[in-house]
Structure 1
């Protein structure tokens, strides 16, 4: 969550700096702020939950690799390949 917050903050700051809002008239500031995407709970909450799940899986896989158990690591790699084979086309189509 914190890294996504940093990313969002950086994006807003970059837009602010690139547009030189400090010297911009108030109407331009309103235009910049209105161009930011709105928070839509119907889409943003599931996106956040999906991101939480993805990051949990990544962290768990990192901890598994740190166990240095070769058979466990190989089974996870095979499972990742199988999962990509089953669901990878959906991720490609969605983006």
Structure 2
């Protein structure tokens, strides 16, 4: 695969198999870590970047729980007659001719669109998608040290922040 530019006579070949050699373009055209120190520095940066991606995912989970609890959809229903969510309603035009009908109120299953919640949620998801694609570009170099660094960074980030990403779904009891 010839990746040469029209202004340059040098030819850059992409190695399409796992390798530990340097010289691959990492994320930017001008970033070519080739020495052992530069590759090690790039690996450290990728570990930190992958940990950051897991932190962003955790913050999405925390904010999702916050938005769910602060919206009116999750607040308890006010029922006048019975506290178990059943309300007695008389449907007869003349009082006390028919027995009262028990009506069960079902809470909404789909939350309403709230711009103050949904726009930041969408922006945060788009930012996380950007992080995913940057990590994917690093993996597509087939540089094994980069791939290992990303996997280690994702593992460390999940260990540190994974319990927050699920929000209120997981409970810890003594």
Shorter-normalised TM-score: what interval? Answer: 0.5 to 0.7
Tell me how large the CA RMSD over aligned residues is: 1.9
Task: Tell me the CA shift for residue 59 of structure 1.
Answer: 1.2
Q: Which runs of 5+ in 1 are unaligned?
A: 1-34
Mapped partners of 1:87, 1:44: distance in 2: 23
Structure 1 or 2: larger strand share?
2
Q: Which runs of 5+ in 2 are unaligned?
A: 1-108, 170-174
Of structures 1 and 2, the one scoring higher in RCO (CA 8 A, sep 6+) is 2
Distance 1:81 1:38, change over 3 A: same
Distance 1:73 1:57, change over 3 A: same
Structure 1 or 2: larger helix share?
1
Instruction: Give the alignment partner of residue 72 of structure 1, picking from 133, 140, 146.
Output: 146
**Residues paired across the two proteins, number:** 61
State the TM-score, normalizing by the size of structure 2: 0.32
Mapped partners of 1:36, 1:82: distance in 2: 34
Task: Tell me the CA shift for residue 37 of structure 1.
Answer: 4.5
Mapped partners of 1:94, 1:50: distance in 2: 19
Task: Tell me the CA shift for residue 65 of structure 1.
Answer: 1.0
